[in-house]
Amino acid sequence: MNIYDMTLHQLWKMLREGETTVQEIYGSFAGRIEEVEGRVGAFVNLTPDLAERQVLKAADRWSEGRGITPLTGLPVAVKDNMSLVGVPVTCSSRMLENYIPPYNATVVERLAEDGAIFPGKTNMDEFAMGSSTENSAFKVTRNPWHLDYVPGGSSGGSAAAVAAGEVPAALGSDTGGSIRQPSSFCGVVGMKPTYGRVSRYGLVAFASSLDQIGPITRDVRDCAIMMNALSGHDACDSTSADIPVPDHTAGLGRDVRGLRIGLPKELFGEGIDAGVRQAVRAAVDLLVGMGAECMELSLPHLEYSLPVYYIIATAEASSNLARYDGVQYGYRADDVKDIIDMYSRTRSEGFGTEVKRRIILGTYALSSGYYDAFYLKAQKVRTLIKSDFDKAFTQVDLLITPVSPTTAFKVGEEVGDPVQMYLSDICTIPINLAGVPAISMPCGFDNGLPVGMQIIGKPFDETTMLRAAYAYEQSTDWHKRRAALAE
């Protein structure tokens, strides 16, 4: 097996036992990036100089036996909406093309303190608005399983980089499925933690009541390792939960006997492709065969998730993106007539079509005379959706659904139909509205493309969710398959 095919925990074991070095590991992944990046397009900015400096520091830590963690000397890619000091954070938008942050995001700082290596910033849908990574201002990322297909979005660059063997792990952000959906499409593991579990300081905001940072990895153990590094209270983030952080790896290896699993009937019916439904049902049957208990239940307000999300998320986007006006930083239009012309042209030229669409929708929802009818009502229905989850979790320990109604679609197939694109997140959006944790993991293939199963946990109970995910993973070999980068 090539080094670039290995997981974080496999690489760490090799380092610990003296079977490889930090330099050899980085060299393998750097060579893989050089080999495949031209076809995949996972990165918007490679940072070899930074990575090489970090490699030297990590090698010293290993040689001295000082401050070694499970991530010391191992590459982790960073989605390009998180601040990495001295490196542009573009959000894959012309608006921020030349913005260089003077500080690290908290998650980046924590990984750096652990000795992780940052080979680059990954491509994404502009300002995290999209489900295919086709909305990037710079390039279209391709799905490593089939290069004619999308990797999902908005964290498509991060998921594709892991699936293609360019890095063993990456950071993504998830506002309505942007970690889980691309992880499903690319056949890797991706997790959205409970809202507040991981600091958002240094993440460029899309929708602040929904955004959450999480890991994308090759297997569940790596996901737990990353969560141990990322989790914890941060005084710089007022939404960060000040509660104890468990060892997310502690429950791995425990069986699922006695765990109660709920299947929301609303997400197994019409609109879900037969091949996807069959793969997820087979995964549930395997868990039941391992001793878990299963029951069907209803989340009656789930049908309102999509309209509620696209009111709340666009309203918050309208507010958050108002700061990009060409005055303090970011893109500014040239040869303007007056300040109104400067505002108008800067935002028209700096933002892409999808971002402008969402800003317009959100501004309308917040406008005088419509606030109560749209935004306020959506928040009330959001409370009902969260109550559905709260009630379900009095009956079960976990919920299981598909991650996406379909497998990956072809590049260009849905980009001109925003409603169809929005429907690809129908299974993931409710989790962000409720603020609960969820993980996507491979559970099969349909038409040669990966299918993802979504396991949903109780708030701040990521350990039970990871326990079930790991038990399933160890009974299958889906996570061991590697993308062939086929045309």
**Looking at the annotation, which residues are catalytic?**
79, 154, 178
Phi, psi of 473 (to 5 degrees): -60, -40
Angle at 418 between CA 413 and CA 424, to 5 degrees: 75
Give the start-end residues of each E strand in 96-204: 120-122, 169-174, 189-192
Cis amide leading into 154 (omega within 30) = yes
Is residue 48 within 8 Å of 26, Cβ to Cβ? no
Which residue type, as a one-letter code, is found at position 110? Answer: R
Rounded CA separation 264/195 (Å): 21
Q: Identify the CA nearest to 304 among candidates 230, 378, 411, 409.
A: 378
Largest CA distance in the chain: 71
Helix residue ranges, H only, 47-102:
48-64
Rounded CA separation 373/378 (Å): 8
CA distances from 230 to 304, 312, 448 (A): 32, 27, 33
CA distances from 285 to 187, 191, 400 (A): 20, 22, 11
Which residue type, as a one-letter code, is found at position 125? Answer: D
Phi, psi of 15 (to 5 degrees): -65, -45
Which residue type, as a one-letter code, is found at position 299? Answer: L
Phi, psi of 260 (to 5 degrees): -100, 125
| Terminal Cα-to-Cα distance of the chain (whole angstroms) | 23
Q: Identify the CA nearest to 184 among candidates 431, 421, 452.
A: 452
Q: In this structure, is the dihedral angle defined by the CA atoms of residues 148, 270, 427 and 219, taken in order, positive or negative? A: negative
CA distances from 311 to 200, 267, 358 (A): 22, 21, 9
Find the helix packing angle between 462-474 and 274-289, rounded to 10°. 90
